[in-house]
């Protein structure tokens, strides 16, 4: 993959998906001074509840009985039949094996 070069704009250019009014609304942000940087605080310190809710929402959900990854050889026609049923085919194989294990 090649990195896309991003060109920073210092003036409004037509045809970029926003209007001159949009440009004017956001282009008046002043540059940060040394004093601004000294007074800056971490997001989690300023908004602790929001930071915690974001932290909790990331990653895989915690499962009571986490699944284990194994290697299993199956016949190609079996795999093709399950894949043909669409997304979630691996879970459906798991359901069939669970039913068979209870026999």
Residue ranges in 1-103 assigned as alpha helix (H): 20-26, 34-39, 43-46, 48-57, 76-83, 89-101
Other C-beta atoms closer than 10 Å to the C-beta of 97 total 11
Residues 69-94 have pLDDT tens digits of: 999 999 999 999 999 999 999 999 99
Is 69 domain-assigned?
no
Of 77 and 10, more confident: 77
Residue (of 83, 71, 54, 24) closest to 93 by Cα position: 83
Q: Which residue has the higher pLDDT, 92 or 4?
A: 92
The answer to the question of residue 12 being in a domain is no
| All residues at 6 or more sequence positions from 23 whose CB lies less than 8 Å from its CB, including other chains | 12
Residue 13 belongs to some domain of the structure: no
Q: Does residue 40 lie in a domain region?
A: yes
* Residue 52 belongs to some domain of the structure: yes
Whether 95 maps to a domain, the answer reads no
Overall domain count for the chain: 1
Task: Please give the residue range of the domain that contains residue 25.
Answer: 20-57
Residue 100 domain flag = no
Within-domain flag for 31: yes
Rounded distance between C-alpha atoms, residue 55 and residue 23, angstroms = 33
């Amino acid at each position: 993959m090649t990195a896309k070069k991003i060109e920073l704009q210092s003036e409004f250019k037509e045809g970029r998906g926003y209007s001159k009014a949009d440009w004017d609304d956001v282009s008046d942000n002043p540059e940060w001074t040394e004093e601004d940087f000294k007074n800056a605080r971490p997001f989690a310190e300023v908004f602790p509840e929001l930071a915690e809710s974001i932290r909790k929402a990331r990653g895989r959900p915690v499962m009571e009985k986490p699944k284990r990854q194994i290697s299993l050889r199956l016949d190609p026609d079996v795999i093709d039949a399950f894949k043909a049923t669409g997304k979630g085919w691996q879970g459906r194989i798991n359901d069939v094996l669970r039913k068979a294990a209870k026999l």
